[in-house]
Structure 1
Amino acid sequence: MAFTDGTADFRSDTVTRPTEAMRQAMANAEVGDDVYRDDPTVNALEEKAAAAVGMQRALFTPSGTMANQIGIHLHTRPGDGVICVPSAHVRKYELGSAAAISGTTFLVVESPDGSMTAAALDTALDPNGPYYNIRPGLLTWENTHNASGGTILSPEVMAKGSAIASERGIPVHLDGARIWNAAAGAGVEVEEWSQHATSMMFCFSKGLGAPIGSMLCGTADFIEEARRVRKRLGGGMRQVGVLAAAAAVAFDERDRLVEDHLLARRLGEGIAARHPDAVDLARVQTNMVRVDGAGLPAGAARFKDDLVAAGILVGFAAQDVLRFVTHRDVNAADVDRVLAVLDSA
């Protein structure tokens, strides 16, 4: 459903507004000082999150970027290389935080969709190179892969690549910002991926639709150290239960993500029916649809302008490529509005 001003916002799943249930939970949350570990609401959510992903402990953070950067910081030493694909969120969209905070660089493995083959990782993680090469310190995966349009990382691909890293004593971090979308889209449990990671994070404020918050998960010892780094980075919040309460509502409602996926499929198929070269339906796997302006009569910029004029917001994923993201605050009527703009062009 569009916002009260009539705007249908497809820019991201981060634009959602708290539901009435979330607002009530926030208002009624039992709180305490989380720096002293006294907030019962966030403590309960951390326990629930850790159990859901099959890890020992979890730590609530203000953002996914902070959770990822804590993970990188704890797993590496200055000068280490973090293995990832070129378009990984940790490399491309986190303001160079890995270099600024942890003194690391990135060693990229080319990939069209966020996956990395065992053969490519066998080379990237080779321990027998000259001593003056950049030392691989961490392997990172992203699931779903944002830059590829929300594509799902195969558990089998992750298992094979992570096994190589583990054999060579290299930890594995999973950026699972939208891991619950991956689970809903693949029809499997999150543990199909998390079992192959040393640590992982997921966001409450993306697909799940909460107003704020992410969770970093790992062993008890890892999370104990993560708590120290979170404080160092300014993430030691106090009565955080008012945030965790909304996140808990979103987390409990995660089964609804399939609705967002069906809506994205409807949008993708609708655009493809009109302009077959504009959408690669094989990549519409979760809640994102990438629209290539080369397949539109007047290009992506003109389509975006026409959408804005109709009260519909969308963002660019790349030059002449638009990204639509479905979420709890858009519906089938909003998709029909998008298609009507195409029909009137």
Structure 2
Amino acid sequence: MMQIKTDFRSDTVTVPTAGMLEAMMTARVGDDVYGEDETVAELEVKLARIFNMEAGLFCPSGTMTNQIAIKCFTQPMDEVICDQTAHVYRYEGGGIAYHSMASVRLLYGPRGILTPELIAPEINEDNIHYPNSALVVLENTVNKGGGACYTLDQIAPVHELCKRSGLKLHLDGARIFNALTATGDMAHNYGQYFDGISVCLSKGLGAPVGSVLLGSKETIHKARKIRKAFGGGMRQAGFLAAAGIYALDHHVERLAEDHRHAVLLADALKAADFVEDVMQVETNIVIFKLAKGYTSAAVVSSLSDNGILCGTTGPDTIRFVTHLNISEDMIAYAIQTLKELKPLRNI
């Protein structure tokens, strides 16, 4: 079978489609720091309406939207409660400590999913010895949980606990539209539960750059100043915002195709003799554990030799991520390669 270069490293590796490029090149732009970029404003309003929130703020990355939200919702000596797999904790450069001077209380939810039963015992009482429990962060979908996702029925009781306890609730919605596609929940029902929502446009939706922080008008007013201090104020950012608008209009429904591709890959991996276990697939992420004697480095190298790129999540675990640049032919090639692959094994 002829080699087909296939990139499963992340859904961030996508490139704009022809239609998206056309939308970008014809965007109406202005200086967004002055509040004069029509297309940025359109994107912010559009997403706020989709999620039933009051306002939005366009930023270069999901890391920035998350870190701005955390700074909006905490003070120094506060504590952020999240799962130990959370992106805000593991993959944002220590930003919680650096930007917000807050500590972190790590929980161990099944596949990164938190429940009121896990959170409630970890909320500190008012005591001079303890940091002030101020914020809970959920991640949807959970990256290191293999794309596991919350339903609104799971989110609602977490919201109620936070409300009773005086805590803010933020959603790292890096792949929120993947979650909505999988659960069938409606985006406009999210706004009632969260003080902040970060929506990433450059993963499954396929935009080249950008995330939007959603919240109340008061929160976004504060967030805009923090974004400026973070160096995130952009000028003619409408060229990028136009890609986000196009993605929302054209790339949401097709996420189901990515999920279907992920299931096909998982089925092929389950049959491979170098794989011990495959995490349950809910969305577009496939994480699998290697059989004894195989290492991630060796298997990733063997796949790379066959034109298939992927990433590791541990010494014996590997991640595939499907996205809009993965075709049916690529999936067929990957499945055939997995059937024939003979990676080196340590004896």
Query: What range is the shorter-chain TM-score in?
Result: over 0.9
Q: Distance in 2 between matches of 1:298 and 1:62?
A: 38
Distance in 1 between the 2:99 and 2:54 partners? 26
Q: Partners in 1 of 2:142 and 2:188 — Cα distance?
A: 18
Q: Deviations over 1:50-85 (max 9, x none)?
A: 000110101100000000000000100001110001
Aligned to 2:155: 158
Match of 1:306 among 295, 302, 309: 302
Confirm whether residue 119 of structure 1 aligns to residue 117 of structure 2. yes
**Structure 1 residues without counterparts, runs of 5 or longer:** none
Query: Per-residue deviation at 1:161?
Result: 1.7
The amino acid across from 1:141 in the alignment is: L
- Give the drift of 1:341: 2.2
Secondary structure at the counterpart of residue 254 of structure 2: helix
How far apart are residue 137 of structure 1 and its match?
1.2
1:218-267 Cα shifts (integer Å, max 9, x gaps) = 00111111111111101110000000111111111211111100110111
Alignment of 1:171-210 (within 5 A): 171-210=168-207
Do residues 93 (structure 1) and 100 (structure 2) align?
no
The answer to whether the 8 Å contact 2:151/2:185 transfers is no
Q: In the alignment, what sits opposite 1:138?
A: 135
Structure 1 residues 158 and 126 mapped into 2: Cα distance closer, same or farther (>3 Å)?
A: farther
Partner amino acid, structure 2, of 1:158:
I
Aligned position for 1:326: 322
Q: By how many angstroms is 1:30 displaced?
A: 0.7
- How many Å apart are 1:339 and its aligned residue? 2.2
Q: What is the deviation of 1:333?
A: 1.7
- Percent identical pairs in the alignment equals 39
Match in the other structure for 1:252: 249
Q: 1:227 aligns with which of 217, 224, 227?
A: 224
Instruction: Quickly say closer, same or farther: Cα 1:57–1:75, change in 2 above 3 A.
Output: same
Output the CA distance in 1 between the equivalents of 2:191 and 2:273: 38
Change in Cα spacing, 1:237 to 1:339, as seen in structure 2 (3 Å) is same
Paired AA for residue 340 in structure 1: Q
Q: List runs of 5+ in structure 2 lacking aligned partners.
A: 343-347
Give the counterpart letter for 2:302 in structure 1: D
1:52 to 46, 50, 69: 50
CA distance in 2, matches of 1:131, 1:157: 33
Q: Distance in 2 between matches of 1:25 and 1:324?
A: 30
CA RMSD of aligned residues (A): 1.7
How far is 1:212 from its partner? Answer: 0.3
Letter in 2 for 1:7: K
SS where residue 250 of structure 1 aligns?
Answer: helix
- 1:206 maps to a residue whose letter is K
Quote the residue 1:271 is aligned against. Answer: 269
Provide the C-alpha distance between the structure 1 equivalents of 2:290 and 2:191, rounded to a whole number of angstroms.
36
Q: Is the 8 A contact 1:291 1:300 kept in 2?
A: no
Pairwise CA distance, 1:276? 9.5
Which one is further off, 87-96 or 185-194?
185-194
| Separation in structure 1 between the aligned mates of residue 192 and residue 111 of structure 2, nearest angstrom | 22
Q: Are the aligned partners of 2:52 and 2:190 in contact in 1 as well (CA < 8 Å)?
A: no
Q: Does 1:40 align with 2:58?
A: no
Aligned letter for 1:263?
Answer: H
SS state at 1:132 partner: coil
Q: Distance in 1 between matches of 2:209 and 2:277?
A: 31
Deviation at 1:195, TM superposition (A): 2.4
CA shift for structure 1 position 159: 1.4
AA matched with 2:322: T
Name the residue aligned to 2:15.
Answer: 17
Of 303, 311, 318, 1:315 maps to 311
The letter for the 1-side match of 2:151 is S
Q: 2:235 aligns with which of 225, 238, 246?
A: 238
Query: Residue 195 of structure 1 aligns to a residue in which SS?
Result: coil
Question: Which position in structure 2 is the counterpart of 1:339?
Answer: 335
Contact 1:174/1:194 (8 A) holds in 2: no
Give the CA deviation at 1:105. Answer: 1.2
Report the Cα distance in structure 2 between the residues aligned to 1:127 and 1:120, rounded to whole angstroms.
16
Counterpart secondary structure, 1:209: coil
1:106, 1:191 → 2: CA distance? Answer: 30
Q: How far 1:331 moved relative to its partner?
A: 1.9
TM-score by length of 1: 0.94
Report if the CA contact (8 A) 2:297-2:315 is conserved: no
Alpha-carbon distance between aligned partners in 2 of 1:194 and 1:85, rounded to the nearest angstrom? 22
Q: Whose helix proportion is higher, 1 or 2? A: 1
Q: How many pairs align?
A: 338
Q: CA 1:19 to 1:159, structure 2 compared with 1: closer, same or farther past 3 Å?
A: same
Counterpart CA distance in 1 for 2:78 and 2:320 is 36
Q: Distance in 2 between matches of 1:194 and 1:76?
A: 20
- 1: CA distance between counterparts of 2:257 and 2:108? 32
Q: Displacement, 1:277?
A: 5.5
SS in 2 for 1:145: coil
Q: Is the 8 A contact 1:202 1:216 kept in 2?
A: yes
Match of 2:345 in 1: none
Q: What's the CA shift for 1:334?
A: 1.4
In structure 2, the CA distance between the partners of 1:276 and 1:153, relative to structure 1 (3 Å rule), is: farther
